[in-house]
Structure 1
Amino acid sequence: MELDLTDEQKMLADAVRSLLDKRYDANARLQLLEGDGWSRDLWRQYAELGLLGLTVDEQCGGAGMGSGELAVVMEQFGRALVLEPFVATVVLGASLVSAAGTPEQKQELLPDVAAGETLLAFAHTEAGSRWSLTDVTTTATPAGGDWTLDGEKIAVLGGDVADQLLVTARTPEGEVGLFLVAAADVRRDTYRQQDGLGGADVLLAGTSARALGTPGESLAAIELVVDTATAMLCAEAVGAMERMLWLTVDYLKTRQQFGIPIATFQALQFRAADMFVSLEQARSMSMLAQRALAVDDPAERHRMVAAAKVQIDLSSRHVGQDAIQLHGGIGMTMEYPVGHYVKRTAVIAKTFADTDTLLEAVGSGPGLI
């Protein structure tokens, strides 16, 4: 596996970082949180940069790039704590359409996603389902050439602003299918997550829907996309951890006690060094997660991604907790960015699976070596 970024990936990272450094400082993010929660103007700029169609086929208006480029973008988004529904629409939504949709559905949906005109959300979690992708009680009933859905989905990331929902439901044959639902046709209870990103609980009651591709073939596509999204969250967490580390180092250099910077205290230097070690461990495992996406065996792919995510979550907890402690009281305030990074990495640690579930997945096979 190539460990260094290609020239094209470096250019992509520089372009995204340049935009976010200009438009996404801590104060600008706080203003977004106090307003609409995200910026439609920035969303249009993401579209102009080609970020919204990064992994979409060129025939559908995208750039046709791969997971390596997507991870580059996610790491930069993690540094800036981006609030826009990129994971919901691009990492999950567009990837599901690309993986499971018919050629006609791809041509219908993906160009508008790449242009920033359509927002998507993946509605799969149900009350009591925990982290299972197959514990689905929402039902899909044939209705002429289409379907009707009945059930309730919770914690739908990006569900507060989505135009189209991609909903998992069980068919009369007992298969888990994926269905397209217009967001205007459902009842949504919207809210902000602890990290500031938008979410919704969705009620489906005889709601009209269209099957995305063939329902009986949806589960494999869903599992692949969830593994891909988990790997991308690993990259985002690395960006967030890197930013927390350097915010902390800068604070240690400027904060004075007894007339000298506290960065001169050896005990604090040791703790900062340990944070750096955790960051580099996480970066290595994020690379493993990206490598895993090229593995043909779904079970092995999932184990590798799960193993990477375990280390990511452990590292982000260590870096976040030490960042707050080394900042002292200011680290707990919402006016200072460190606490926001800790919240985001804590939510990432509970997205798609918790640590116990991930360890169970890793232990279910022969191991990684």
Structure 2
Amino acid sequence: MNFDLTEERQMLQDSLRRFLRDKYDTATRNGILESEAGFSADIWNGLAELGVIGALFTEEQGGFGGAGFDIAVVFEELGRAGVVEPLLDSAVLAGGLIADLGSEAQQEHIEALIGGALQLAFAHGEPTSRYDLERVTTTASQNGGDIVLNGRKAVVANAEAADMLVVSARESGEAGDQAGISLFLVPADTKGLTVTGYALLAGGRAAEVTLDDVTLPESARLGEAGKAFDAIEARVAVATTALCAETLGAMETACDLTREYLGTRKQFGRPIGSFQALAHRMSDLLIDLEQARSAVINAAGHLADDRASRERHVSAAKNLMGRVGRLVAEDTIQMHGGIAMTQEYELAHIAKRITMADHRFGDIDYHLERFIALSAA
């Protein structure tokens, strides 16, 4: 099989890499991390003008990409540069769900998102849900012609900056049931919606979201009542693949920084990279990096499969990325020594991103168990 990028994807990769090389260095990112917003509006608008957000959606949805490999190309470059802007949460998750389930009127939000004028957040995880997508206790009850939401959502990335939240709530069934979960569009200024924000270790910001008698019209529902689970699972599979691609890009940067350091740092009159122990260690990392690249390609290529095949390949990729990511983060820091722990050095942020990526959408153990269960089904 030919895994080379198409001409369009190669152009997307080249233009995005040039943009980030010119606009996104360590000092710029550190300034963004210290800001109240947790991301740069200028960078966000620049990505929109470049067409990066549009590449995450199909032509029918108003974009020009949307396939697994389009998403992987974009997020590998974002990971390579250590970008903290919320494309994963605003575009892939929240925006993707609106594109997948929204009515004609709701679909109009996608145009604003692709143009850079709209920020979104996906409020799904809860304090007791861990990685289980079906564990939703937030309730949606009918009150005449309105719907009333009550509950709590945890670690909602980009919630503070979002103009609108896509919120999951249960209209029927018990916590843990896949049936009965619905999605709702909730404007950020809706009465009863409380957002308490904080900085994330790997960059960006998240919030605890409380819904206290949040009242919405029925037109705020995305798709059919109680039937949102399949769409949520499919979107999280896309987001997980994007996160794997982002982690791959971060690992590439970590290995490049380490290889450069081993070639310039001298001891006993020669570069430490010439020492056999370090040379072998670096070679092992590069082999593992290629294995991780294959896992991302495999996951991206199966996103359009049936549910069982898609989820099995995504879980396999996420498990492998977690294992390789931990090795790359630890070994690159150890081969650098103390400089790798300073915030002013690029590797400090990159290693955090690699490490924390394992804890989103399911860690190593979760996806190993899930892969076994899916393979046995």
Shorter-chain TM-score tier: over 0.9
Q: How does 1:156-195 map to 2 (within 5 A)?
A: 156-172=156-172, 175-185=180-190, 186-195=193-202
AA at the equivalent of 1:267 = A
Contact 1:96 1:225 in 2 (8 A): yes
Contact 2:263 2:272 in 1 (8 A): yes
Aligned identity (percent) is 42
AA at the equivalent of 1:51 = V
* Distance in 2, Cα, partners of 1:2 & 1:98: 30
Q: 198, 201, 204: which is aligned to 2:205?
A: 198
Q: 252, 263, 282: which is aligned to 2:273?
A: 263
Q: 324, 335, 339: which is aligned to 1:330?
A: 339
Q: 252, 261, 286: which is aligned to 1:251?
A: 261
- State the SS of the aligned residue for 1:365: helix
* Distance in 2, Cα, partners of 1:199 & 1:170: 23
1:300 corresponds to which residue? 309
Show CA shifts across 1:66-122 (max 9, x none). Answer: 221121010000011111111111111111111121232112x11111111111111
* Distance in 1, Cα, partners of 2:131 & 2:342: 32
The count of aligned residue pairs is 366
Contact 1:160 1:191 in 2 (8 A): no
Show CA shifts across 1:335-365 (max 9, x none). Answer: 1111211111122111111111101111113
- State the SS of the aligned residue for 1:54: helix
Contact 1:181 1:208 in 2 (8 A): no
The structure-2 alpha-carbon separation of the partners of 1:324 and 1:259, relative to structure 1 and needing over 3 Å to count, comes to same
TM-score by length of 2: 0.94
* Distance in 2, Cα, partners of 1:222 & 1:268: 44
Show CA shifts across 1:126-175 (max 9, x none). Answer: 11111111111100012343411000000011112111111111004660
2:26 corresponds to which residue? 26
Contact 2:312 2:375 in 1 (8 A): no
2:40 corresponds to which residue? 39
2:290 corresponds to which residue? 280
TM-score by length of 1: 0.96
1:360 corresponds to which residue? 369
**Unmatched tracts of structure 2, length 5 or more:** 175-179
Contact 1:89 1:120 in 2 (8 A): yes
Contact 2:167 2:183 in 1 (8 A): yes
1:88 corresponds to which residue? 89
**Unmatched tracts of structure 1, length 5 or more:** none
Deviation at 1:57, TM superposition (A): 4.3
* Distance in 2, Cα, partners of 1:11 & 1:300: 30
2:177 corresponds to which residue? none
2:154 corresponds to which residue? 154
* Distance in 2, Cα, partners of 1:120 & 1:254: 44
- State the SS of the aligned residue for 1:199: strand
AA at the equivalent of 2:274 = T
Is the counterpart of residue 223 in structure 1 residue 223 in structure 2? no
Deviation at 1:59, TM superposition (A): 5.4
Of 91-100 and 76-85, more deviation after overlay is shown by: 91-100
